[in-house]
Structure 1
């Protein structure tokens, strides 16, 4: 199984389909994966296959690694568009997440003040006040909502919280009052003998109602781009993604399509 794990705290910059020249931040173990979802399309693999006993990097090490990289980029004449927290799982699980965001804002302002800060998150930890407060400080809190239907989320994203519900997540997202980016992975195929397709009319109609209620400033629509741990998944054609995007734009919301 081919997977992508990030073996450094700071990696790249890489060209992101959605964000431009992106300097990546990994607050999670370098030799495994730590996530509160276990998405069947995750490029880092299934949680069970990449368990780790490695400690998380502490705040001081993250700050030092980021400053060193920003100094190096400045010497090389490379300007990042964005500093993106993603890495080997869910970044908001780090117990020092809020302080790390504060450090990142300070260093960004010093070295590349025009760069934006993005966090890709499944939104599971927004119930923690310090996580929500940190995400309000950055330019791009990018939160996941792959389906409006609990049964689909449990098949596609596999949250590890027994009490997970889409309704609960939507209430958490409403606290942003529209000042956030919603991202949705569209995929088709099979997993463990079950059909998966979150592009059906039932799925899209229900999802659009939640998009309307949340009214995010942008919706990122994308599909798989790399090998996935579940082998029977299919990339959704870009034309189909564009049709979904047109319906979002009909709500007056900007969309970003990555096929």
Structure 2
């Protein structure tokens, strides 16, 4: 079972397939997972297996950890390409997320002015005003949409909101007026006797219609890269991802593919 957990508030920098040299920020518990999705491909494992009673890091500790690391990197002559909010779950669940974003912008400008600030988010909390406004302030709000179909999302992403719907999520994303990056994980395989595949023609056609409606400034297409908690999942071959990307390109939207 996959159990990659980040035990620090600030970690790395690491090399990201999609973003280059990335300094990570984990706003979630250091010894467990906290997420409003329970994705079957999550490198942090299933939610039920990594419950924690540990408190979230407070704003002051995040500020101190980030400042110390940025100072060290500056002294070492290392320039991160991006400061990325990811970690052990969904970063926008932190109650001080908006204020921490403000602190990060200040520290980035002071110590690493060329670095972009990215947030990897499942998008479930963008309906909250403070989260939406904070995401509008960062360079790269990267929002998930793994399928156009509710049934598929419930199989792959398993949102903890019983009445989650793709239609409602799309309406929330439209509030960005295209100023965001859409990320989609393509995979196939089995889970608990059910066949899962969001790379079929039906899936891709439906997804492309939503991409057309949202018209994000970029689309990130990727597939499994690390061990997954659901063991019977398979990568979608790179050549198939590139074909999907070509169809996105026909809409006039730049696409990044990570196979």
Relative to the length of structure 2, the TM-score reads 1.00
Shift of 1:127: 1.1
1:256 aligns to what? 256
Q: Give distance in 1, aligned partners of 2:63 and 2:35.
A: 22
Q: Give distance in 2, aligned partners of 1:2 and 1:170.
A: 30
Q: Give distance in 2, aligned partners of 1:171 and 1:253.
A: 19
Q: Give distance in 1, aligned partners of 2:192 and 2:143.
A: 27
- Structure 1: stretches of 5+ with no match in the other structure: none
2:78 aligns to what? 78
Shift of 1:239: 0.3
Does 2:213 match 1:219?
no
Q: Give distance in 1, aligned partners of 2:159 and 2:227.
A: 21
Shift of 1:217: 0.3
Deviations 1:217-245 (A, max 9, x none): 00000000000000000011100000000
Q: Give distance in 2, aligned partners of 1:172 and 1:20.
A: 28
| DSSP 3-state at the match of 2:196 | strand
Deviations 1:106-155 (A, max 9, x none): 00000111100000000000111000000000110000000000000000
Shift of 1:163: 1.3
2:93 aligns to what? 93
Q: Give distance in 2, aligned partners of 1:221 and 1:24.
A: 21
Q: Give distance in 2, aligned partners of 1:227 and 1:114.
A: 33
1:161 aligns to what? 161
2:200 aligns to what? 200
Q: Give distance in 2, aligned partners of 1:13 and 1:2.
A: 21
Q: Give distance in 1, aligned partners of 2:192 and 2:247.
A: 31
1:24 aligns to what? 24
Pairs within 5 Å for 1:35-50 = 35-50=35-50
Shift of 1:34: 0.1
Q: Give distance in 1, aligned partners of 2:139 and 2:174.
A: 17
Q: Give distance in 2, aligned partners of 1:134 and 1:163.
A: 25
Q: Give distance in 2, aligned partners of 1:143 and 1:105.
A: 19
| DSSP 3-state at the match of 1:7 | coil
1:209 aligns to what? 209
1:131 aligns to what? 131
Q: Give distance in 2, aligned partners of 1:31 and 1:122.
A: 21
Deviations 1:65-95 (A, max 9, x none): 0000000000111000000000000000000
Does 2:240 match 1:240?
yes
Shift of 1:2: 3.2
Relative to the length of structure 1, the TM-score reads 1.00
| DSSP 3-state at the match of 1:114 | coil
Q: Give distance in 1, aligned partners of 2:13 and 2:242.
A: 28
Does 2:67 match 1:67?
yes
1:3 aligns to what? 3
Q: Give distance in 1, aligned partners of 2:2 and 2:47.
A: 14
Q: Give distance in 2, aligned partners of 1:58 and 1:255.
A: 36
- Structure 2: stretches of 5+ with no match in the other structure: none
| DSSP 3-state at the match of 1:167 | helix
